[in-house]
Amino acid sequence: MTALYPQGIDMDRDGEREAARLLGAERIVLQFPMQWYSTPAVMKDWQDKVLTRMGYIRPDTEGAGLSGKPVMIAASMGAAEATYRREGRNRFTVAELLVPLRATVNRFAMDWRDTFLLYGTADLDAVALANAGRDYRDALSRFATSPIVAGAAR
Ligand SMILES: Cc1cc2nc3c(=O)[nH]c(=O)nc-3n(C[C@H](O)[C@H](O)[C@H](O)COP(=O)(O)O)c2cc1C
């Protein structure tokens, strides 16, 4: 996304294209590396411009069109899973840190699906990386073939 929008995202020009991509998609995968327990700055820019445009400025013609679309979050964390526990260094689980995104999905009446979370990317060797790639491919294919249920937002 940084390569696509090196100057940042323009709500009108880029927002129109991004909104059209979302509205044209049957399912949406939001893939990002966790940065400071949140989405990276470029994705926050995307949220601020594209979702604001769709949800607040054009709620009827754009925002409403997201209703019912399945959404899968695919996030990678540099730190190990054990750190994302009450007693761990990061104290909060990734599921807890993802609550703002889950609230956003809810806000658009989209359908929150199982997440794909890859931990410990700072320490992945070639074998672990290959396994993670295979797991991600399988998760994507389950997501892509799962039924779309009307009114399934949860
Ligand atoms: C600015 C910055 C902030 C980061 N913050 C976190 C963090 O809060 N938690 C974490 O587990 N990893 C954090 N990381 C590590 C990234 O999540 C990790 O490098 C990424 O998942 C690897 O995927 P990539 O190769 O696609 O960037 C951060 C990395 C950067 C550059």
Q: Where are the domains of the chain?
A: 27-145
Cβ–Cβ contacts within 10 Å for residue 72, how many?
A: 21
Of the candidate CATH numbers 3.40.50.720, 3.40.50.11270, 3.40.1110.10, 3.40.50.360, the domain formed by 27-145 belongs to: 3.40.50.360
- The three-class DSSP label of residue 70 is strand
Decide: 39 in ligand 1 pocket, CB within 6 A. no
Q: Which long-range contacts (CB under 8 A, 24 or more apart) does 95-99 make?
A: 97/34, 97/37, 97/38, 98/73
Question: 101 C-alpha to center of ligand 1: Å?
Answer: 17
Decide: 34 in ligand 1 pocket, CB within 6 A. yes
CB 113 within 8 A of CB 29: no
Per-residue confidence (pLDDT) for residue 149, from 0 to 100: 82
Per-residue confidence (pLDDT) for residue 2, from 0 to 100: 84
> How many alpha carbons fall within 13 Å on the CB side of residue 150?
0
Cβ–Cβ contacts within 10 Å for residue 106, how many?
A: 13
Question: 154 C-alpha to center of ligand 1: Å?
Answer: 28
Give start and end residues of each alpha helix (H) in the chain. Answer: 13-24, 41-46, 52, 94-97, 99-107, 126-145
Per-residue confidence (pLDDT) for residue 1, from 0 to 100: 82
Pairing label, strands 111-112, 70-76? parallel
Decide: 78 in ligand 1 pocket, CB within 6 A. yes
Give the pTM: 0.94
Q: What's the chain's length in residues? A: 154
Decide: 76 in ligand 1 pocket, CB within 6 A. yes
Which atom of ligand 1 is closest in space to residue 83's alpha carbon? 11
pLDDT tens, per residue, the chain with 154 residues: 888 888 899 999 999 999 999 999 999 999 999 999 999 999 999 999 999 999 999 999 999 999 999 999 999 999 999 999 999 999 999 999 999 999 999 999 999 999 999 999 999 999 999 999 999 999 999 999 999 987 665 5
| Dihedral sign of CA atoms 19, 116, 89, 103 in order | positive
